[in-house]
Amino acid sequence: MTKDKQLSIFLRNVPGELGRFADLMGGSNINILAMFIQNAADYIQEMFEARGKAIKRTASAASYGSVIKEAKQYSLIRVVVDQAEKALDILKQANYWVNTSEVLVMKLENRPGTLAKISKQFGDANMNINYVYGSGISDVQTAMYVFHVPDVDEALKSLSG
């Protein structure tokens, strides 16, 4: 379990954009270790629908509609790379909008119940998980997961003890 830097980048939602991004990373000898992509408009639409079902909406449908219209132009990509500072510089030079945050990267046993066990440990330590992404391949022993939590240092202390 290690603390790492995650880069969050808004990519234009057009054919070939992920390829351009990946080419920029590969051409700079930066290895992408983990990646999650979410269409911004889909997320906002899902939030709008969820708020209508379970939570009181705080904005009008028209407000959500204008935000969704703008969001359709972008996808949010979250990555962990082997050279975060170098990638950050290169992305800024290429005029990408990029933000950084600390994440907890964990290699977990690749078997049923492992994610449940670690998630329970977070809960027992009163640590919220904002989001998580990861994967493993069926014929390997370990899987890699990236956890975004409010306080990575506190999570490390809580889970290491």
> Per residue in 97-114, pLDDT tens?
999 999 999 999 999 999
Domain spanning 2-160 has what CATH number?
3.30.2130.10
Q: Where are the domains of the chain?
A: 2-160
Q: Which residue has the higher pLDDT, 49 or 153?
A: 153
DSSP the chain: -EEEEEEEEEEESSTTHHHHHHHHHHHTT--EEEEEEEEHHHHHHHHHHHHHHTS--SS-HHHHHHHHHHHTTEEEEEEEES-HHHHHHHHHHTT-EEEEEEEEEEEEESSTTHHHHHHHHHHHTT----EEEEE--TTSSEEEEEEE-S-HHHHHHHHH-
pTM for this one?
0.82
Averaged pLDDT for residues 110-129: 93
> Per residue in 145-156, pLDDT tens?
999 999 999 999
> Per residue in 50-89, pLDDT tens?
656 555 656 566 665 666 666 667 788 999 999 999 999 9
